Chains A and B, each alone.
Chain A
Amino acid sequence: MKLLDLGILYGLIGVGCAVVLLLRRNEIGGSWLDAALLAGFWPVYGPFLLAKIQGTDEGPEGSEVAFLTALRRARGTPLAALLPDQQTVLALARRLRVAAGKVQEIDAILARPEFRERQALVRQRELRDRGASECALSTASIRIQNIRRLRALRDRFARELDEVEELLSQLRTQAEVVRLAGVPDDETRDLVQELVSRVEGLDRMLDDDPYVTPAEEAKRAFDLRLAGESDVSGGTAEQA
């Protein structure tokens, strides 16, 4: 095989991979830049994209990197005295990563066909029109509720992350002001405290979520409903 043939084969594989990525962009994500990189350097970039699609690549860590970078920069200024110690910083950064990962995970779940609210509503209407059993209707309604809960949870995490990002942006500029002014003022102290408490609060979000019910509890409620239905149908059969 000549060099040219090898080059053509390499190019064809790359273009093929890029076309597949673009065609299935809605399902698996990915941008034009991803497609371009895949077309040119598929042996290098392909494994990473594949892992991302399969969900084995841990979530986005943009917020975590921004957090660590902002605090590291602030360490070189008089703000350093107000900052938490290194271990706390790493623990906080990990929380940010977990929260950012949750947003991405929920996005991936909501992108699945069975998690589309419109479809779930249509299905519920169909069941109602067909005169389906109470249990089937109730299951369809739980499905809709779960989709809404997921969306609400995702929005809460995303909103919190946005606010943390804004605080980090402010910390970056504040660090410059303090570096030039020499002494951190009360506003700066408040800013650092708020940032830390916000990141700490990310952990509690799942626990505080009024929508989230423990799996065991949900299962028990479902079993009870089923048992109730079977009693009713059993009673009807006996009467007949």
Chain B
Amino acid sequence: MSTIAGSMQSRPPSPVLQSIDQLLRDAPAVLERIREGRDLATLAKAMILTIAFGGGVFGAAMGTFRGGEQILYAGVKLPIALLLTMAICAPALTALNRAVGRAGCMRRDLALVLSALARSSLVLAAQAPLVLLAVRAEASYHAVVLLVVACCSIAGIVGLTLFLRGLHATQSSGLWTVAPALFLVFALVGTQMSWTLRPFLLRPRTPDIVFVRAVEGSFFESVARSVQSARGIYMRESAPLPSEWEGER
């Protein structure tokens, strides 16, 4: 022991950092931990911080398209949108589980959704350089919008995979009823939440930066318009400036 004690190394990282490390390196162990309900408070803390970091990095990268305060605003709003969506949707998972006769535990379900979202956030953070590259290459607004949607889709698929594995690890029966139903709830709430907290991506010529815009229209109308605009089919001559937009109302 004396030789061992002689070569003591630095202290191991905190449990929160260990949980993040576990999510990155050993997802099955995270799922096992959730299934057994072990120290979920530390796991939840680690996952919330991961979502805040990952979402913040990607949000800030989106904000660079306009620059200025928008970098901070988008960096703050994206994690908020992710976590609030989760807060609204996760109880639905418990309800759905119970409804189809699966084991439902609020904390475990929250931990599973948090872990899946944290993994997605890490993938989002990893894709932030792509957005920065597009901004640097002076890509058009609609091209950047589509790039962001693609990045979010990839991150979503990664998170969804972990989520499905987690659901399957708990109990395989009723999986294909619960998963699509929750996916639908998550998609609807998430899109509306991000719509409520927009703008995340602002055109560089926008003179005034606002933290959130007034509620108008719906997310789905906006996606359809962006796809049309990306194909060169414009509904109007130019995008309105905030002053004009206020006037339209």
Contacts and interface: CB of A to CB of B under 8 A. Distances in A.
Co-complex (A, B): yes
A60 B42 contact: yes
A44 B39 contact: no
B37 A58 contact: yes
Interface stretch (B3-11, B142-150, B153-161): B3-11
B87 interface: yes
Contact of B15 (A3, A37, A60): A60
Contacts of B1: 194
A44 B114 contact: yes
A181 interface: no
A200 interface: no
Contacts of A169: 8-12
A51 B40 contact: yes
Nearest to A172: B9
A72 interface: yes
Interface string A27-63: 0000001100100110111011101100001111110
Given A45-B48, A51-B107, A170-B7, A60 B12 contact: no
Contacts of B48: 37, 41, 44-45
Given A59-B39, A61-B33, A69-B22, A33 B11 contact: no
A60 B39 contact: yes
Given A65-B19, A170-B7, A58 B110 contact: no
A191 B5 CA distance: 11
Nearest to A165: B12
Contact of A173 (B9, B21, B86): B9
Given A34-B45, A58-B37, A170 B9 contact: yes
B133 interface: no
Contacts of B5: 166
Contact of A62 (B15, B40, B45): B15
B177 interface: no
A72 B9 contact: no
B4 A170 contact: yes
Interface of B is mostly: helix
A68 B29 contact: yes
Interface string A92-126: 00000100000000000000000000000000000
A45 B42 CA distance: 10
B37 A41 contact: no
Contact of A168 (B3, B12, B19, B106): B12
Interface size class of A (residues with CB under 8 A): 35 or more
B113 to A, nearest CB: 9
B53 to A, nearest CB: 13
Interface in A141-176: 165-170, 172-173
A48 B9 contact: no
A51 B110 CA distance: 13
B37 A66 contact: no
Q: Which of A58, A165, A172 has the largest number of chain B CB atoms within 10 A?
A: A58
A194 B1 CA distance: 8
A44 B90 contact: yes
A107 B84 CA distance: 34
B44 A45 contact: yes
A57 B37 contact: yes
A166 B33 CA distance: 24
Contacts of B49: 37
B26 interface: yes
B181 to A, nearest CB: 20
A114 B8 CA distance: 39
B44 A44 contact: yes
B87 A165 contact: no
Given A58-B37, A61-B38, A69-B26, A3 B215 contact: yes
Interface of B: 1, 3-5, 7-12, 14-15, 18-19, 21-22, 25-26, 29, 33, 36-42, 44-45, 48-49, 80, 83-84, 86-88, 90, 106-107, 110-111, 114, 196, 215
Interface of A: 3, 33-34, 37, 40-41, 43-45, 47-49, 51-52, 57-62, 65-66, 68-69, 72, 97, 165-170, 172-173, 187, 190-191, 194
Going nearest first, the 8 A-B pairs with the smallest beta carbon separation are A62-B15, A43-B87, A169-B9, A48-B41, A52-B41, A48-B44, A65-B18, A61-B39
